[in-house]
Amino acid sequence: MLRFDRIMGLFQRYVFIYMRGSFRILDVAFWPVMDLLVWGFVSVYFIGLNGSGKPGAVTFLIGAIILFNILYRSQQAVTISLLEDLWSRNLLNIFVAPITVAEFICATYMVGLAQVIFVGLSTSILAAFLYHFNVLSMGFLLVPLFLNLIVMGWSLGMLSSALILRYGHQAEALCWALPYLVQPFSAVFYPISVLPSWLQPVAKLSPASYVFEGMRSILQGNSHVENDLLWATGLNIAYWIFFSVFYTRMLQAARQGGSLARLVS
């Protein structure tokens, strides 16, 4: 059974860590803002060079950058929270405390939510100021889009965390690499139809591809994206269950093989 006080205890710890480390806060805010500045201005420039460029392209790109950062921060929060304990040699204290794996993961989900709110707000305000992009123009459909990306980030976070627990420090790079491994097949900056036909079925396995296709439809004025949202939600539920089981299995294997003890000691 999940105990809220223990989840809050873990969450409070992450809040303290982020509040105390100005570089941590900078890390959370820096990359999304840089993405927005660089790719936003690059697309404004190309549209200026090529008279036939559609102004809608900037809107798609800005929307994609903001939404991809929701997925990215959600995944990062789950894995970086584990790594924070690993780096500070505190993970053993956590693993021998009376908390369940589910409580530990829930706390990292909460960190993800907090980061997503922070990044979502800051990049949306910046996009409105620099590019006159109003994220709220997507209306209430923004909520299911965001939620699907958050849940997909949680699943990817559990995958990278599970591999770190099982394979140790050598798997740490996955924390940063994993979202970019799925990005080309998730229709983030271009529609699925751009991909070669043999890659399109792969893209259809990514919940994010439905979210980004849906986002582009909404920005084009088509609010009938129920089908995209249903696919994204269905796939997300399936992946979340799969990666929850995967995390538990990897932890079991880490306990049996001794890699957990080596990692935390």
57/83 with CB nearer other proteins:
83
Q: Using alpha carbons only, what angle is made at residue 162 by residues 156 and 167, rounded to the nearest 5 degrees?
A: 125
Q: How far is the CB of 7 from other proteins (least distance, A)?
A: 10
Please identify, using beta-carbon distances, which residue of 20 and 198 lies nearer to other proteins.
20
Residue closer to other proteins, measured from CB, 22 or 197: 22
Distances in Å between the Cα of 69 and the Cα atoms of 34, 64, 102, 118, 194 are: 11, 8, 25, 11, 22
Show the site string, 239-258: x = touches other proteins by CB under 8 A, - = not. -------------x--xxxx
Question: Per rule CB under 8 A, is residue 16 in the interface with other proteins?
Answer: yes
Closest separation between CB of residue 148 and other proteins, Å?
32
What's the min distance (Å) between Cβ of 85 and other proteins? 8
The whole-angstrom separation of Cα 60 and Cα 50 is 17
Asked if 28 touches other proteins (CB under 8 A), the answer is: no
Alpha-carbon dihedral 229, 233, 236, 242, rounded to 10 degrees: -150
Taking a C-beta distance cutoff of 8 angstroms, is the pair 131, 44 a contact?
Answer: yes
- Are 87 and 246 in contact by the 8 Å Cβ rule? The answer is no
Which of 61, 77, 99, 178 binds other proteins (CB under 8 A)? It is 99
**Least distance CB 127 / other proteins (angstroms):** 32
Handedness of CA 96, 98, 100, 105 (dihedral sign): negative
How near is the Cβ of 108 to other proteins at its closest, in Å? 15
Among 55, 98, 139, 196, binds other proteins (CB under 8 A): 98
Which of 95, 231, 239, 247 is in the footprint of other proteins by CB under 8 A? 95
3-state secondary structure (DSSP) of residue 76: helix
